């Protein structure tokens, strides 16, 4: 496990217990809702109760006029352009409070301020919203019909963008010996961080700036957006993200409520607070997934895949969220359809469609859970059609280690690894032969058993090349670290990424300890405050260990060299003859401690070598040598039992063989894998926000939005292999998203395997008992 | 408005509150005890779990005025309690938390379980946690931590 050339001192690859745990265990963490400021008042939003309508006016309740704000109260507020910088991407101006039209149930229309949230809600209940209801657009495919109602009058249809992603030997597909057509659907869900969104803001008169406490994944980028929306210079806005209770992508967009709270803070003389409640979260926070696939897989008779063609519709909701909207969903869904396989042709029409639903944003795995679901189901369906083991069909088509680096038909460069080994390992962990004999020994009335596989790749650590290709409005091509040794030799490191559960205070300290020759306990990692940290993009897209890890590592290394040179001077030794060891600089004869060196550098400059700049502080940025990304990967294998009378699924065993390159902290990697899989199980079996024909969302509490709990999520068995990346510091790859990518596919394949005898097809998530029961009935020809 | 008199973490407290104030809001806003987290405010996620007269209680579902004369214990109030100490240590060692938001409710729920059943099976632990949502960890570390805490406490019981 995990050993590599860098781990000689033991910090890289050590399952160090986390530095961030103590405050949480003591109940002394501080989330945005825990911020206490004198005179602080609460905000509640009055929200649209209809999906689509012309907004004629908003009446403020009598006596409360000064406590209620509508868009008309903010004449100077700017609407941010969002989405990729592509002419073909149509603009969907998203005001902080509704203006002209309402376009989804839950859209914020007015903000009400009162000393408590309860009283603010009382006022919100009295706000009268006068709307003429328009036909709701709720089906992303029907929305593309010329007769569909339009969300934006100026658009020729309801698509934000329509693109064809085609490459390779497309004509081969037409006459392919095997053509198998299937439709897949991954339904809409929410990101559901357990801490909801939240924002506290006030004008700090002494510093002449707006102070914003924000539950976000990236305070610097949010400040950029806030500055543009509010028309303030960035040096008059300070964003503090204190403890952040999960994000998963949903806190990586600037939402209108947050802009409205800041705009109100500029108008009143006291701090204001908005803490999203769970209903608001499910109703109007970032929604995700919601992909429709209509695909044909083309293959040779022996199962060799030729290509994939068809349509992908992304139900992107009513607006593009700042900065980048949901445009990556379609291109990533199509681009990841070839998965880890040798695919010779790809021809996919993608439609990113506006509907009267809450706007779509990123969620752990971004598009890849849908793409993985589609390709991995197609592979299983092809295997069933050809009468071969799905495992064998995968082996036939998986890219081999010898073919690496392998550029997929969609242009993704799969860099390093052994996909066959991952699949073989996962298959051994679940023992296919044993499952097959259990299946054939099943007696009537017993539950069905099935085994399912899914292989995935996880692009991580991608920089300028990849994000520029995507025409991203913000190009997160680097991260920065400021490494500072204080006069006593202790170290503070400020980074621009945002820890919200990933354990950066521990892993980044391990990296710095490795470079500086210190113990991680002597190194403090600070983040989440635009006033103290260097500019950074935040934590998302499985990027932090690659980018921030690299920035901390390379900058610490440079600082270590300066420490070494000062140490040599203090020892009156030849710099070539000294080295760093455990908080000291050592020459043959003697040693000098970091505290002596840091004292000289910071407060006793006369002791420094001639011409040496004082202080021990360096700021550096880092981008990997190649910025197309490094690919983690893995194979998931799951065994389920299915009650055919009820459609209820139980997970009997879940095994993963994964490779995320060098692991800085294997304990934290395991936590990411297990936690990602729990979310993937949620997507696969439980979580869904359905809408009725009028665009009313039907899951707005945890009573109807089903979350996976301890009784549904098994402890996963994890096998690691370690193929270091070639272009990153220490050979790391990202690991945050991978766990969530494969479970919907693996689970659906397992359920389908349980019904192999009747060839039932399970092509829609979540696999609720009813969907399973109906698919089984349909396959048996006994559909109701 | 009603005058509420009760004990919170051993301290006698008397406050004027609105009748509709939930126990969770009372603890967080009136008493400043922010270890009690609100994840759903409809009794489904367990983040706001506290003990009321030693019974595991969702503080978001109870009006504060229902706790007149009661003894309420939040995570801040466990001091040197050996069960809570063992659980905190075990949660740290078993990587049972990531973002930390559910953790306080998990600890209170876990302590309630171990106070009643000192050596629970994995199935009993999972059942006891079934009303506490964790979005980060996938529960494996939490289940393991409770097993670990039970093991650590076992010699003292014997």
Render pLDDT for A223-240 as a digit per residue (tens, 0 to 9): 999 999 999 999 999 999
Q: What is the pLDDT of residue A325?
A: 87
**Burial of residue A668 (number of CB atoms within 10 Å: 0-12, 13-18, 19+):** buried
Contact B42 A702 (CB under 8 A): yes
Q: Do A520 and A507 contact (CB within 8 A), yes or no?
A: no
- What's the mean pLDDT in A132-149? 98
- Percentage with pLDDT > 90 across chain A: 95
pLDDT band at B156 (very low <50, low <70, confident <90, very high): low
Q: What is the pLDDT of residue A212?
A: 98
How many Cβ atoms are within 10 Å of A559's Cβ, its own excluded? 22
Say if B121 is an interface residue toward chain A (CB within 8 Å): no
Domain boundaries, chain B: 2-77, 79-153
Say if A125 is an interface residue toward chain B (CB within 8 Å): no
Which residue in A has a C-alpha nearest to residue B140's C-alpha? A715
Q: Please name which of A24, A78, A305, A63 lies closest in space to residue B47, comparing C-alpha atoms.
A: A24
Q: Look at the block and give the residue holding tokens 């919601």.
A: A290
Please give, rounded to a whole number of angstroms, the shortest distance from the CA of A135 to a CA of chain B.
32
- What's the mean pLDDT in A626-649? 96
Which of A16, A17, A25, A740 to substitute to test the interface with B, most B CBs within 10 Å?
A: A25
Q: What is the pLDDT of residue A93?
A: 97
Say if B91 is an interface residue toward chain A (CB within 8 Å): yes
Contact B42 A703 (CB under 8 A): yes
Is pLDDT of A783 > 80? Answer: no
**Burial of residue B156 (number of CB atoms within 10 Å: 0-12, 13-18, 19+):** exposed
Which residues are CB-contacts of A41 (< 8 A; sequence separation ≥ 6)?
A: A113, A114, A115, A120, A268, A270, A271, A272, A273
What is the spatial distance between Cα B22 and Cα B33, in angstroms, rounded to a whole number? 14
Please give, rounded to a whole number of angstroms, the shortest distance from the CA of A507 to a CA of chain B.
13
Contact A193 B126 (CB under 8 A): no
Contact A501 B131 (CB under 8 A): no
* Inter-helix orientation angle A368-386/A743-754, to 10°: 30
Q: What is the pLDDT of residue A3?
A: 36
3-class secondary structure for A139-159? CCCHHHCCCCCCCCCCCCCCE
Which residue in A has a C-alpha nearest to residue B136's C-alpha? A675
What is the spatial distance between Cα A779 and Cα A757, in angstroms, rounded to a whole number? 10
Say if A680 is an interface residue toward chain B (CB within 8 Å): no
Mean pLDDT of chain A: 96
Q: What is the pLDDT of residue A7?
A: 41
| Structure-token pair, residue B30 | 């009136």
Q: What is the pLDDT of residue A121?
A: 98
CB-nearest partner of A675 from B98, B126, B131:
B98
**Class of the B79-153 domain?**
mainly alpha
Considering only CB atoms, which chain B residues are within 8 Å of A24?
97, 100, 103-104
Report the SS3 class of residue A493: strand
Which of B140, B141, B146 to substitute to test the interface with A, most A CBs within 10 Å?
A: B140
Is pLDDT of A5 > 80? Answer: no
Convert the pLDDT of each residue in A422-440 to its tens digit. Answer: 999 999 999 999 999 999 9
Q: Which of residues 501-540 of A touch B (CB under 8 A)?
A: 501-503
Per-position DSSP letters for A734-757, written without gaps between them = --TTHHHHSHHHHHHHHHHHHTGG
Helix (H) or strand (E) holding A438: helix A432-440
Contact A675 B76 (CB under 8 A): no
CB-nearest partner of B133 from A24, A31, A707:
A707
What is the spatial distance between Cα A547 and Cα A780, in angstroms, rounded to a whole number? 52
Is pLDDT of B158 > 80? Answer: no
Contact B101 A194 (CB under 8 A): yes
pLDDT band at A207 (very low <50, low <70, confident <90, very high): very high
Convert the pLDDT of each residue in A34-53 to its tens digit. Answer: 999 999 999 999 999 999 99
Convert the pLDDT of each residue in A406-417 to its tens digit. Answer: 999 999 999 999
Which of B135, B137, B141, B142 to substitute to test the interface with A, most A CBs within 10 Å?
A: B135
- What's the mean pLDDT in A736-748? 98
- What's the mean pLDDT in A117-131? 98
| Structure-token pair, residue A694 | 């009028």
How many Cβ atoms are within 10 Å of A141's Cβ, its own excluded? 14
Q: What is the pLDDT of residue A2?
A: 35
Fold of the domain spanning B2-77: Ubiquitin-like (UB roll) (3.10.20)
- What's the mean pLDDT in A188-212? 98
Is pLDDT of A782 > 80? Answer: no
- What's the mean pLDDT in A495-520? 97
Q: Do A552 and A728 contact (CB within 8 A), yes or no?
A: no
Is pLDDT of A302 > 60? Answer: yes
Considering only CB atoms, which chain B residues are within 8 Å of A502?
98
pLDDT band at A316 (very low <50, low <70, confident <90, very high): very high
CB-nearest partner of B133 from A30, A194, A243:
A194
- Percentage with pLDDT > 70 across chain B: 98
State ipTM: 0.98
Please give, rounded to a whole number of angstroms, the shortest distance from the CA of A379 to a CA of chain B.
28
Contact B44 A715 (CB under 8 A): no
Per-position DSSP letters for A291-355, written without gaps between them = EEEEEEEEE-TTS-EEEEEEEEEEE--SSPPBTTTTHHHHHHHHHTTTTTB---EEEEEEEEE--
Is pLDDT of A784 > 80? Answer: no
- What's the mean pLDDT in A651-662? 98
**Do B2-77 and B79-153 come out as alike in CATH topology?**
no
Is pLDDT of A118 > 90? Answer: yes
Please give, rounded to a whole number of angstroms, the shortest distance from the CA of B117 to a CA of chain A.
18
Is pLDDT of B4 > 80? Answer: yes
């Amino acid at each position: 496990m995990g050993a590599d050339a860098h781990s000689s001192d033991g910090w890289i690859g050590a399952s160090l217990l986390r530095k961030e745990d103590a405050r949480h265990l003591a109940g002394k963490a501080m989330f945005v809702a825990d911020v206490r400021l004198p005179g602080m008042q609460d905000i509640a939003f009055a929200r649209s109760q209809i999906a689509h309508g012309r907004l004629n006016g908003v009446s403020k309740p009598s006596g409360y006029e000064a406590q209620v704000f509508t868009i008309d109260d903010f004449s100077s507020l700017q609407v941010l352009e969002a989405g990729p910088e592509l002419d073909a991407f149509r603009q969907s101006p998203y005001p902080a409070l509704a203006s002209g039209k309402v376009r989804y149930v839950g859209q914020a229309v007015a903000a009400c301020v009162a000393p408590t949230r309860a009283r603010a809600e009382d006022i919100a209940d009295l706000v009268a919203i006068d709307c003429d209801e328009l036909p709701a657009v709720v089906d992303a495919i029907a929305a593309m019909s010329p007769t569909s109602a339009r969300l934006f009058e100026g658009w020729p249809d309801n698509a934000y963008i329509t693109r064809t992603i085609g490459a390779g030997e497309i004509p081969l597909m037409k006459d392919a010996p095997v053509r198998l057509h299937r439709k897949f659907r991954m339904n809409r869900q929410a990101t559901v961080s357990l801490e909801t969104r939240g924002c506290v803001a006030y004008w700090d008169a002494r510093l002449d700036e707006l102070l914003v406490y924000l539950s976000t994944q990236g305070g610097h980028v949010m400040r950029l957006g806030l500055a543009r929306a509010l028309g303030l210079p960035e040096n008059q806005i300070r964003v503090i993200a204190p403890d952040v209770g999960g994000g998963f992508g949903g806190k990586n967009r600037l939402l209108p409520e947050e802009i409205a709270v800041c705009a109100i803070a500029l108008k009143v003389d006291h701090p204001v607070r908005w803490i999203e409640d769970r209903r608001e979260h499910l109703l109007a926070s970032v929604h995700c997934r919601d992909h429709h696939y209509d695909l044909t897989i083309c293959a040779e008779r022996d199962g060799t895949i030729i290509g994939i063609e068809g349509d992908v519709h992304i139900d992107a909701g009513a607006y593009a969220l700042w900065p980048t909207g949901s445009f990556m969903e379609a291109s990533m869904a199509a681009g990841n359809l070839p998965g880890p396989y040798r695919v010779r042709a790809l021809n996919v029409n993608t439609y990113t469609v506006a509907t009267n639903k809450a706007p779509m944003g990123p969620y752990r795995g971004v598009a890849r859970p849908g793409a993985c679901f589609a390709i991995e189901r197609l592979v299983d369906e092809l295997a069933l059609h050809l009468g071969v083991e799905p495992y064998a069909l995968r082996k036939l088509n998986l890219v081999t280690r010898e073919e690496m680096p392998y550029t997929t038909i969609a242009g993704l460069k799969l860099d390093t690894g052994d996909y066959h080994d991952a699949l073989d390992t996962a298959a051994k962990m679940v023992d296919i032969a044993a499952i097959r004999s259990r299946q054939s020994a099943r007696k009537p009335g017993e539950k069905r058993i099935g085994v399912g596989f899914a292989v995935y790749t996880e692009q991580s650590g991608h920089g300028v090349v990849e994000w520029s290709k995507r025409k991203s409005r913000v190009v997160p091509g680097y991260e920065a670290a400021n490494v500072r040794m204080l006069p006593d030799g202790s170290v503070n490191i400020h980074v621009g990424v945002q820890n919200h559960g990933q354990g950066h205070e521990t892993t980044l300290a391990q990296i710095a300890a490795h470079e500086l020759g210190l113990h991680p306990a002597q190194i403090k990692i600070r983040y989440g405050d635009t006033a103290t940290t260097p500019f950074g993009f935040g934590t998302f897209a499985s990027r932090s260990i690659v980018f921030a890890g690299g920035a901390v590592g390379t900058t610490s290394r440079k600082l270590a060299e300066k420490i070494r040179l000062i140490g040599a001077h203090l020892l009156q030794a030849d710099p070539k003859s000294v080295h760093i060891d455990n908080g000291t600089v050592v020459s043959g004869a003697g040693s000098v401690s970091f505290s002596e060196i840091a004292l000289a550098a910071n407060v006793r400059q006369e002791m420094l070598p001639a011409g040496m700049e004082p202080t021990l502080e360096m700021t550096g940025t880092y981008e990997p040598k190649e910025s197309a990304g490094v690919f983690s990967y893995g194979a998931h294998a799951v065994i389920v039992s299915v009650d055919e009378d009820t459609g209820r699924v139980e997970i009997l065993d879940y095994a993963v063989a994964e490779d995320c390159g060098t692991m800085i902290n294997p304990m934290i990697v395991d936590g990411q894998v297990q936690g990602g899989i729990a979310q993937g199980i949620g997507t696969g079996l439980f979580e869904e926000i359905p809408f009725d024909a009028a665009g009313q969302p039907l899951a707005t509490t945890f009573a109807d939005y089903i979350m996976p709990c301890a009784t549904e999520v098994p402890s996963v068995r994890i096998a690691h292999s370690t193929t270091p990346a070639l272009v990153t510091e220490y050979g790391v790859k990202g690991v945050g998203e991978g766990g969530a990518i494969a479970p919907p596919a693996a689970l659906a394949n397992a359920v389908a395997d349980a019904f192999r005898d009747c060839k039932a097809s399970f092509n829609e998530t979540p696999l609720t008992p009813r969907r399973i029961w109906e698919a089984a009935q349909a396959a048996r020809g006994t559909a109701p | 408005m009603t005058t509420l008199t009760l004990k919170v973490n051993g301290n006698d407290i008397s406050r004027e509150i609105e009748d509709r104030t939930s126990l969770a809001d009372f603890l967080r806003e009136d008493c400043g005890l922010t270890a009690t987290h609100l994840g759903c405010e409809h009794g489904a996620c367990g983040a706001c779990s506290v003990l009321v007269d030693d019974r595991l209680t969702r503080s978001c579902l109870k009006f504060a005025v229902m706790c007149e004369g009661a003894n309420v214990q939040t995570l801040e109030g466990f001091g040197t309690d050996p069960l809570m100490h063992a659980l905190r240590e075990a949660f740290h060692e078993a990587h049972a938390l990531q973002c930390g938001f559910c953790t306080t409710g998990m600890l209170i729920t876990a302590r309630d379980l171990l106070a009643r059943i000192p050596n629970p099976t994995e199935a009993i632990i999972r059942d006891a946690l079934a009303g506490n949502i964790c979005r980060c960890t996938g529960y494996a570390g939490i289940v393991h931590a409770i097993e670990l805490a039970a093991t650590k406490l076992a010699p003292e019981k014997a």
